[in-house]
Every structure is written in structure tokens, then in C-alpha cells.
A = this chain, B = another copy of it.
Amino acid sequence: MRLYTCTGAPSPRRVTAFVAEKGMAIETVEVDLRSGEHLSDEFQARSPECTVPVLDLDGGECLWNTVAIRQYLEEIQPEPALLGRDAAERARITQWVSWLEHNGFLAAAEAFRNAAAGMKDHALPGRRPVPQIEALAERGRLRFGFFLEDLDRRLADSAHVAGPEFSVADLDAFIVLEFGLRVTKLSIEPWEQLSAWHQRMAERPSLRD
């Protein structure tokens, strides 16, 4: 088994932090996103969207979706459980991970990809040229602000993102905050519950990169 990753990029970190929490040892291969290595024919054969992370299961099959990779790893090494311990908890964690993707990661990605000079014609992942939309960069920043407000409210009701227990949703929330705050230049300082939770999470070795 081999994990294709890129240190510093948010999506592969969603897997590497998960692997660290599990205490698993998986061989990793660095993919150079700056030079466009992920857009090569060779890499696209592993990952049709030309994205990292990719988990090569050996025998030719690759998983190229973050949530799918973690689901697979949880099944082959259930402890410590990061995706829930019963049907309702597992569904709740799936729900919050999806919420973080749509409201956090996508908002930050919209803000980043539609504004960064290096992302010209790469407003979406993949090889097809997709031009930037300035209004979408602005909207991404606006949405990320809504996201901070909503996440703060959630953490007023719940010790962790998906419920009383720590889960993969906390990893994702921490990772998207680091990415989105950098991109949008927003701050979590006005958000009391979010700031307190963030401080607790920053102590986890898996998130200390």
C-alpha cells in the first residue's frame, strides 16, 4: 500500500493526519504539485481528477478520494475508531464531514482558485482549462465567513464537531480552518467557542505537522 501525497496541501493532510491518529505506517510518495506532476498522463492513470491524495492498494487499484481512502483504512484498522462506533454516530460523522466539505473546503477553494495568480485557468481541479471568476473568489470569502459563524455556533452546542467525541470531523475542521484562514485573511478571534476548540485541537500531535 502506498500513499501519494503533497506535504502542505489541505486534501492530502486530511489523510496523513488520519493515518497519524491511527498510528499506521504507510509508505508515502511526494507529488510535486508546483511543477504540475499531478497533471501528467502517468499520474492521471492513478487519479482521474489529477488530485492528491491517492492510495494505491497494490494489485493495480487506486483510491483517489479522501473520504473513501479513510473509510478503507478504518475498515482494515478499526482502532482507534475515528468514523464512529454505532450506526447513528457513523452517520452523524459522515454528515459533518460532508458539511465541512461543502461549506468549508469548497468555499476556501473557490476563494483560492479564482484569485491566485498561479491558478489561472485552473479554477477547478483536473486538466481541462477552466477560467477564474472574480465574483466567485469574493463569494468564496463571504461563504467562508458564514462557515466560521456556523461552526462557532455548532461548537457552542457540542464539544466536538460531530458530537461529544473526537472524530475525523475535528481533523477536517482544523485543516480547513488553516487553509481557509490563510486564503481569506479572516480570523477566528471573534469566535469564542471556535477559538477554544481550535486551541485544544492544536495540541494533538497529528495536527502539529
Contact = CB atoms under 8 A, between A and B. Distances in A.
| Oligomer copy total | 2
Interface string A69-100: 10110011000000000011011101100110
Interface residues of A, number: 34
A20 to B, nearest CB: 20
Interface stretch (A9-17, A128-136, A200-208): A128-136
A43 B75 CA distance: 35
| Interface SS majority for chain A | helix
A63 interface: yes
A184 interface: no
A135 B57 CA distance: 40
Given A98-B65, A133-B135, A133-B139, A72 B91 contact: yes
A68 B87 contact: no
Contacts of A71: 87, 90-91, 94
Given A90-B71, A136-B136, A48 B95 contact: no
10 contacts: A49-B99, A63-B91, A65-B99, A68-B91, A68-B98, A69-B91, A71-B94, A75-B91, A130-B143, A135-B136
Given A75-B90, A133-B133, A135-B136, 9 more contacts: A49-B99, A63-B92, A65-B99, A68-B92, A71-B94, A72-B90, A75-B87, A135-B135, A136-B136
